[in-house]
Amino acid sequence: MPIQKTMLIGNGVNRINFAEGSKSKKGPPSWKDSLELLAKFAERPVWNIDKKPLTLVFDEIAYHSRDSDISKFALQKYIADIAKLEHNPIADLLYSLTRNVLTTNYSTHHVAQFDKRNRATIPVRQIQENTFSLFRHYATPEDRRLWFIHGSSDQPTSLTLGYRQYAKYQAQIKSYLNSGLAYSGKKIKNSPLFRKNPVFDFEKRRDHYSWIDIFLRDEIHVVGLGLDYTETILWWLLLEKLYLKAKYPKHIGDFIYHHIETTNKRMSEREENKLDMLHSFGITVKYSVADSYREGYLDIAEKIKSGSKAKYEKQQQAKLAKDASSLDGRSVKPKQNPSLIMPADQL
């Protein structure tokens, strides 16, 4: 079977805000912004957040919140509540490019971006997970799937936030890869890619499969994701993917990291070091040099799926024309002088 393309989308896509009439110039909060808000909510000041691993910052807040009787669930629910989105047509475009989409974002608002016809639902056969998110996804009737790999806002206990949660999640993934899992007495076989005779077309079988299998098998396009070193699970799975590709080159796709360079922003030393690390593993890094992140993401979309940029611009022009037409045809009621309006009880 031909190798499929799959998007891995991060929060960067949400934070470009260029929509007409937008209420915010920045969009949803960054991970750092979210932790600063969380610290205020927990009444627990955290110093030097910029210099600390953000996963440990969450654990720092959670650990000290015990003193003020704020539960971990309350912290998770607060993060879920602030993970709100404004309409973003660029995100709509990126979520439409591939059959499977993986996202590190929490907000279920992404489901509407993934399927504009609002038909995507949680499958009846989906494994019910409270803490982890190996199988958490929404699916359309055409079996397009949106995978929430770090949990989703409709299940706050699933949000992958702190270092402890990452470590437990990684252990769960390791069990799935090698020996399988059990949920409520139901046994789940181990990853089809880690069996003695690997199964690469696992969608055709009735067995459950995970976003991990898609990540390891498909050609992954990373967009809007910083891929910080605290993303220990993704870095680990990337290494597993490289070893699988060396063993089964005809069946395992590449890992492609898309990086936007804007003309008015200099790349940080931290970013340069990360890209060097990716290069050292033979990872393809595709650069999009643009005047804005909007143009950068459009360039990325075009690289992934030819013709998508022209289609997007045509849709935006049609929307502008429709909006203008509705304004031209809108009936405007003449203003009335309140003093000339007789109260209802005097009619």
Higher-pLDDT residue of 285 and 50 is 285
Do residue 220 and residue 242 come from a single domain?
yes
For residue 314, give every residue at least 6 positions away whose Cβ sits within 8 Å of its Cβ, in sequence order, or none. Answer: none
Lowest mean pLDDT, pick from 101-110, 115-124, 140-149, 221-230: 115-124
Packing angle, helices 163-178 and 54-65, rounded to 10: 110
pLDDT of residue 128: 87
CB-CB contact of 293 with 16 (8 Å): yes
Do residue 165 and residue 134 come from a single domain?
yes
Do residue 59 and residue 101 come from a single domain?
no
pLDDT of residue 340: 30
Do residue 135 and residue 259 come from a single domain?
yes
On whether residue 342 sits in a domain, the answer given is: no
DSSP E strand boundaries for 39-193: 100-103, 137-139, 145-148, 181-183, 186-188
Do residue 176 and residue 245 come from a single domain?
yes
**Torsion region of 320: left, alpha or beta (phi above 0 gives left; psi -120 to 50 gives alpha):** alpha
On whether residue 337 sits in a domain, the answer given is: no
pLDDT of residue 164: 94
**What is d(CA 298, CA 68) in angstroms, rounded to the nearest whole number?**
47
pLDDT of residue 240: 98
Q: How many distinct structural domains can be found in the chain? A: 2
Q: Any idea which residue has 């397009």 for tokens?
A: 144
Per residue in 158-199, pLDDT (tens digit) is 999 999 999 999 999 999 999 999 987 789 999 999 999 999
Structural domain range at position 119: 5-15+89-330
**What is d(CA 72, CA 84) in angstroms, rounded to the nearest whole number?**
20
On whether residue 339 sits in a domain, the answer given is: no
Which whole number is the average pLDDT over 108-132?
84
Per residue in 7-42, pLDDT (tens digit) is 999 988 887 764 333 455 556 778 888 899 999 999
pTM metric for this prediction: 0.87
Per residue in 298-331, pLDDT (tens digit) is 999 999 998 888 878 887 777 777 666 666 655 4
CB-CB contact of 301 with 311 (8 Å): no
Confidence of residue 341 (pLDDT cuts 50, 70, 90): very low
Which of 66, 82, 98 is the last residue in one of the domains? 82
